[in-house]
Structure 1
Amino acid sequence: MQLSTTLPTALGVFTLTADEAGLCGLSFPEEHQLVLHKSLVAIATHPLLHEAGRQLLAYISGSLRDFDLPLSIQGTAFQLQVWEQLRTIAYGQTMTYGELAERIGGRHKARAVGGAAHANPLAIIIPCHRLIGAGGKLTGFGGGLPMKQALLNLEGSSCKD
């Protein structure tokens, strides 16, 4: 059974979701209303959601660079491969979709990498915001481009508009 909690932050209200195996969802503020049908619990009553909330707040405040949480994510083999590669992009660094595609079989997979990044259920924790377009351009992000830019600014990354 999945349980969710809401977490007010300086970037808006996020929704965290966990199942028996680990953290399985992080919804951005604009998606907040879409997930309210799930079973909501008080953050302090669920140890994993509480720890995920603590770590997310620490990340947003600039005092945490790497998340250490049990994850429970479901996806295709390709999505899982992309999400694993996303986790190797260091804090404050960026990589293009093409560069990540090259790591997993060729630049011709850049669009598929973008699709897998868009399907990422744990954005920020699995840092798809660190993917940028060719030439350093800021490109699509499930939380919106202003959120992506805010996260990159927080990490000290730079992009071209």
Structure 2
Amino acid sequence: MSRTSTTHLAALAAGTVLLLAGCSSPTSGDSKPQPASPSTASPAANASSAYKALAAAVPSATGSAPVTAESDPNHLLGRPGQYTSKITFKDGRIKPDDTQGVEAGDVSLGGAIEAFASAADAQTRATYIQTVTKGMPALAEYDYVHGATLVRVSRLLTPEQAGEYKTALEKQ
């Protein structure tokens, strides 16, 4: 293999790692969510309010946990063009055996709600996630955008089950 080919492969591998890190969703498994700082308290209400509405319509959604700038594994919370608040949650229909070894807060346990400053930012994030995970079944998920809110739902749910989140979101 030529030196140029090796360099291109190394760059491609590094880029792939960075892209995958940007769409991951786990939170630290042993740490408890920290309260939002005063500067993020208002935006956190957006994801929190969306979760309350979704959980009322989808009773299997439980165990919400706010993500803070300090606990965000993606390091996107509050960054320009990124989500202004984020909540992760579990879905009781997902079998524990299917998620062994998955860290608390991971989308595969149920889902996540990301609130943005604009609908365009929410759509950009959804498109990014779908582009990065395309062709990688282990990273696939359902993504629903409604206004400035992105709801990410576990691939472990059936399309019909995940669709309940979409229907509830559209009713907001």
The TM-score, its normalising length taken from structure 2, stands at 0.26
Select the structure with the greater relative contact order (CA < 8 A; seq sep ≥ 6).
2
The TM-score, its normalising length taken from structure 1, stands at 0.27
